[in-house]
Amino acid sequence: MKKNDLEFYDRSAAQWWQPDARIYALHRLNPLRFQYFDRHLTNWQGLRVLDVGCGGGFSCEFLAARGAKVFGIDRSQSCIATAKAHAATSGFKIDYQYGYAEDLPYADRYFDVVVCVDVLEHVTNWQQTVTEIHRVLQPGGTFCFDTINRTVQSQLMMIWFLERVVKAIDRGIHDWEKFIKPEELTSLMQQQSFTNIDIKGFSLFGSSPWDAIATFWHYKRTGSLRASITDNTSVMYIGKAEKTARS
């Protein structure tokens, strides 16, 4: 069976902004993610922000609505086309480009903030991706991220439960071996002179299989997701880091 099936995003591009599409669940995650990011960045107005792995534009438009100067990049040309079309319809000026996270087509020290959510566990080389993010950030700039931990719990939740049992996402989207432990990501960021690193658990499913089932059926009934920021990073985690002012 194919793993880390990135063609899913190409297949989803045409339905990206349709509320009944599976991919639309990612749109509903943004208010939950930014409950955390807003603790560290209280005013996005005028900030130059790059969304790495922007897909069809959910986070880009969320940020543009807050007054940020937004740039988005993705390896899916279909998603970029969708993102451009939807931004034009919505009246947002967003600079979208086709490209790869490991080779960002931007100048050194160009961005105030780089956002990378639901992406690091999918790229070919997450270490090179973080290196590139560090390069394009201004000194003092902020890296905002979330990703999936490589644990037994994440394998059960993200692959066995979501892909195989309730089939909330297509089978084969994830590859457990590409999930990243928080200590691995922290170690690399420290090597690259990121500082003020903060990582928290990003819980969408609670702490037990029964919580997960209840949360899933709540989403099916209401279309809303329930999330909390916790100290438990065993499945998903969210964080921020700052590029040192001397970098």
The model carries a pTM of 0.92
d(CA 113, CA 68): 10
Q: Are 13 and 82 in contact (CB under 8 A)?
A: yes
| H-assigned helices in the chain | 7-12, 25-37, 58-64, 77-90, 126-136, 152-154, 182-191, 209-222
Cβ burial, residue 56 (10 Å; 0-12/13-18/19+): buried
CB atoms within 10 A of CB 176: 18
Both tokens assigned to 174: 């994830």
Strands 137-148 and 236-243: antiparallel
Percent of the chain at pLDDT > 90 equals 68
Q: Which amino acid is at 226?
A: R
Q: Which amino acid is at 236?
A: M
Q: Are 117 and 144 in contact (CB under 8 A)?
A: yes
- What per-residue confidence (pLDDT) applies to 16? 94
Helices 126-136 + 182-191 axis angle, to 10: 40
- What per-residue confidence (pLDDT) applies to 210? 62
pLDDT per position as a tens digit, 201-210: 998 766 556 6
d(CA 247, CA 229): 30
Q: For residue 159, give the nearest of 174, 178, 144, 181 by alpha carbon.
A: 174
Residue 174 pLDDT > 70: yes
Both tokens assigned to 42: 């209280």
- What per-residue confidence (pLDDT) applies to 7? 86
**Sheet with 111-117: strands ordered across:** 95-98, 69-74, 48-52, 111-117, 137-148, 236-243, 194-203, 228-230
d(CA 62, CA 54): 11
- What per-residue confidence (pLDDT) applies to 20? 86
Residue 1 pLDDT > 70: no
More confident residue, 4 or 7: 7
pLDDT per position as a tens digit, 86-101: 999 999 999 999 999 9
pLDDT per position as a tens digit, 101-127: 999 999 999 999 999 999 999 999 999
Strands 69-74 and 95-98: parallel
